């Protein structure tokens, strides 16, 4: 199978190229009844993020899912995916999928008899899109974050209550075996009752910098990295602890990227954009990547959106260094930090408990080195110049548990499939086949709108804390739902055919 990573600048660890996983982490699904019609999907927002879903619907899950329409303000991006679907279906040209503008979303759902809409629009539009999709009679699959504001949370909560339609959150990091294994360790009681968490995530100067080139650089669009990126991380902690945030205090700043920081460091005159720029490690050349060229460079004349803006230009309104203290309802506290300009990429999680400590260390990319043209090499192993850095900080993952009065022991981490630490492909099974599961998931990895609100609650409270300089109580945000609710595990389906492992 071919796995499509969601972000071309993100690290591609070994799991990204794997086509098989440890059977202990792959759910079992019944074969679909041959007479059952396929679920009809439409994709709303056809940027790079949509690619994973288009690939899944036309590939590994084509027996249960069908892509019937595309919706976007940019016809160039829809044309790109129409051609991709045509190629996936073995056609001589584009698939000829119906294409709609966002204003015609409701008409699309009605005319194409859409069952589920995959929402991969810019973050600020998620709440409005979910409400419109549900009011038109379809369910929604939503890329993280669920939304960016407390008002957005209320909009989605009201929509779910009014329509009874479903929201599926795609928190793929839950499905990464390293993260699932840490949840198993905590749930087993091996370290006793958790008392505190330290969580540090570092984004390198390729992946981290990329957020400052595109629409995410504007707080109005993304809610800042504390929502767009960190909602992944906050969801993990909520899920690991089976808990909900109660109070947040934040400190953050734009201390590396942006025009003022560039001037302070004497960087001199900068190019407006990366495409066509040579010898600049901060530049992203859209022409060098087929997908980025087709989705953005060739389509920018339709709407003027530049995907490759200089990370040291003006107009950036988000932070690149963030630190939080989060208190949870059970009494656990978390210290959290995110840095978006590190020389390597990965994360460290330490969970202290009444009977010991668990430590998860992940190096997703050990170094960023430059090629002969002065551009960042995404895969350091591809060049001999990267060998010293790779040896001193090897890519990998390690989970260590140490109980009081005992020696430390390493806990084996099974292998996953695809990007995001081996979680993407397993997530997609739950998105497209969850009604065919043969057993309930003991880890409760599937996420709904309550999980989505619980994750963004930390970032929304953090943004309010930055504004006021005070600690913020999550209950004072008025999110529209009780985020202390525990999710009910889904009931497994009755087999309609002999059981078989999902095609991976």
* 107-158 confidence digits (pLDDT tens): 999 999 999 999 999 999 999 999 999 999 999 999 999 999 999 999 999 9
pLDDT of residue 389: 56
Query: What angle, rounded to 10 degrees, do the helices at 75-88 and 51-58 form?
Result: 30
Token couple for 487: 């999710």
**pLDDT number for residue 11:** 77
Residue with the bigger pLDDT between 390 and 367: it is 367
Cis before 451? omega within 30? no
Indicate if the pLDDT at residue 357 is higher than 50. yes
Where in the chain are the domains? 31-170, 173-257+316-477, 259-303
406/491: higher pLDDT: 406
Q: Are the CB atoms for 311 and 208 separated by under 8 Å?
A: no
CB 56 within 8 A of CB 418: no
**Distance from C-alpha of 105 to C-alpha of 118, rounded to nearest angstrom:** 12
Q: Measure Cα distances from 116 to 29, 316, 390 in Å.
A: 20, 35, 44
pLDDT for 5: 53
295 pLDDT more than 60: yes
- CA-nearest of 275, 259, 279 to 308 is 275
pLDDT in the model for residue 2: 47
* pLDDT, average across residues 436-455: 94
Write the DSSP symbol of residue 437.
B
Residue 240 Cα distances to 318, 392, 459, angstroms:
28, 30, 18
CB contact set of 221 (below 8 Å; sequence gap of 6+): 122, 123, 124, 215
CATH of domain 31-170: 3.40.50.720
SS3 of residue 55 by DSSP: helix
User: Which tens digit of pLDDT belongs to each residue from 56-93?
Assistant: 999 999 999 999 999 999 999 999 999 999 999 999 99
Question: Residue 266: enclosing H or E segment and its boundaries?
Answer: none
| Alpha-carbon distance values, 322 to 230, 240, 354 (Å) | 10, 22, 28
Are residues 133 and 425 in contact, defined by beta-carbon separation less than 8 angstroms?
A: no
Decide which of 501 and 266 is more confident.
Answer: 266
| Residue of 376 and 424 predicted with greater confidence | 424
Burial class (CB in 10 A: 0-12, 13-18, 19+), 325: middle
Say if 31-170 and 173-257+316-477 have the same CATH topology. Answer: no
- Cβ atoms of 340 and 249 within 8 Å: the answer is no
Over range 194-204, report the average pLDDT.
98
β-pairing, 116-119 with 99-100?
unpaired
Could you give the angle at the alpha carbon of 429 between the alpha carbons of 424 and 431, nearest 5°?
90
pTM above 0.95, yes or no: no
Read off the pLDDT band of 383 (50, 70, 90): very low
| CA 387/CA 382 separation, integer angstroms | 9
What per-residue confidence (pLDDT) applies to 344? 96
Transcribe 16-29 into DSSP letters.
GG-S---TTTSPEE
Which percentage of the chain shows pLDDT scores above 70? 88
pLDDT in tens, 210-243: 999 999 999 999 999 999 999 999 999 999 999 9
Residues found in the chain: 504
More confident: 250 or 497:
250
Question: Does 261 score more than 80 pLDDT?
Answer: yes
Q: What are phi and psi of 22, to 5 degrees?
A: -60, 130
Q: Which CATH class is domain 173-257+316-477?
A: alpha beta
What's residue 133's pLDDT? 98
Q: Is the pLDDT of residue 10 over 90?
A: no
Q: Work out the mean pLDDT of the chain and round it to a whole number.
A: 90
Distances (CA, A) of 145 to 62, 306, 442, 454, 480: 26, 22, 24, 11, 17
Tell me the per-residue pLDDT of 461-477, one tens digit each, with 9 for 90 and over: 999 999 999 999 999 99
Band the pLDDT of 6: cuts 50, 70, 90: low
Residues 6+ apart with CB under 8 A from 476: none
Alpha helices in 126-196 (DSSP H): 126-135, 150-163, 177-188
Q: What pLDDT score was predicted for residue 14?
A: 58
Answer whether residue 190 shows pLDDT above 70. Answer: yes
| Distance in angstroms (rounded) separating the CA atoms of residues 395 and 332 | 30
Residue labelled with tokens 């939080």:
324
pLDDT at 497: 40
Q: Three-state SS for 415?
A: coil
**Residue ranges of E strands in 424-474:** 472-473
**Nearest Cα to Cα of residue 144 among 225, 78, 217:** 225
Q: How confident is the model at residue 498 (pLDDT cuts 50, 70, 90)?
A: very low
The string of pLDDT tens digits covering residues 301-343 is 999 999 999 999 999 999 999 999 999 999 999 999 999 999 9
Confidence of residue 170 (pLDDT cuts 50, 70, 90): very high
């Amino acid at each position: 199978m071919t796995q499509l990573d969601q972000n071309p600048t993100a690290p591609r660890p070994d799991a990204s190229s794997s086509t098989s996983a440890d059977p202990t982490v792959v759910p079992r699904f019944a074969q679909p009844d041959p007479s059952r019609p396929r679920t009809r999907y439409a994709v709303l927002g056809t940027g790079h993020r949509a690619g994973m879903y288009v690939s899944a619907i036309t590939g590994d899950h084509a027996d249960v899912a069908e892509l019937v329409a595309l919706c976007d303000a940019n016809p160039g991006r829809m044309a790109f995916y129409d051609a991709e679907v045509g190629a996936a279906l073995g056609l001589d040209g584009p698939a000829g999928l119906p294409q709609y503008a966002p204003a015609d979303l409701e008409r699309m759902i009605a005319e194409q008899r859409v069952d589920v809409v995959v929402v991969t629009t810019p973050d600020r539009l998620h709440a409005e899109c979910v409400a419109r999709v549900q009011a038109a009679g379809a369910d929604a699959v939503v890329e993280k974050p669920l939304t960016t504001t407390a008002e957005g949370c209320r909009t989605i909560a009201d929509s779910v209550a009014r329509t009874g339609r479903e929201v599926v959150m795609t928190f793929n990091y839950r499905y990464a075996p390293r993260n699932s294994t840490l949840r198993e360790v905590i749930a087993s009681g091996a370290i006793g009752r958790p008392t505190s968490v330290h969580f540090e995530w570092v984004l390198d100067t390729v992946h981290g910098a990329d957020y400052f080139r595109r629409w995410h650089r504007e707080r109005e669009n993304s809610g800042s990295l504390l929502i767009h990126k960190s909602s992944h991380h906050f969801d993990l902690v909520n899920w690991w602890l089976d808990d909900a945030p109660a109070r947040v205090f934040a400190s953050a700043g734009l201390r590396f990227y942006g025009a003022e920081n560039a001037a302070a460091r004497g960087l001199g005159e900068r190019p407006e954009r990366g495409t066509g720029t040579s010898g600049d490690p901060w530049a992203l050349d859209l022409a060098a990547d087929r997908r980025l060229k087709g989705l953005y460079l060739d389509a920018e004349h339709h709407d003027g959106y530049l995907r490759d803006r200089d990370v040291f230009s003006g107009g950036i309104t988000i932070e690149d260094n963030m630190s939080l203290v989060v208190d949870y309802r059970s009494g656990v506290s978390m210290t959290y930090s995110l840095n978006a300009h590190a020389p390597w990429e990965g994360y460290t999680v330490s969970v202290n408990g009444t009977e010991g400590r668990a430590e998860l260390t992940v190096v997703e990319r050990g170094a960023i080195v430059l090629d002969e043209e002065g551009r960042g090499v995404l895969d350091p192993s591809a060049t001999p110049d990267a060998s010293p850095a790779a040896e001193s900080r090897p890519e990998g993952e390690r989970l260590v548990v140490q109980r009081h009065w005992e020696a430390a022991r390493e806990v084996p981490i099974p292998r996953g499939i695809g990007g995001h630490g081996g979680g993407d492909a397993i997530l997609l099974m739950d998105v497209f086949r969850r009604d065919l599961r043969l057993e309930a998931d003991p880890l409760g990895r599937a996420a709904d709108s309550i999980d989505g609100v619980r994750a963004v609650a930390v970032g929304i409270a953090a943004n309010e804390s930055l504004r006021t300089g005070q600690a913020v109580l999550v209950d004072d945000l008025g999110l529209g739902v009780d985020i202390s609710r525990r999710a009910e595990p889904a009931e497994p389906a009755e087999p309609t055919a002999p059981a078989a492992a999902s095609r991976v």
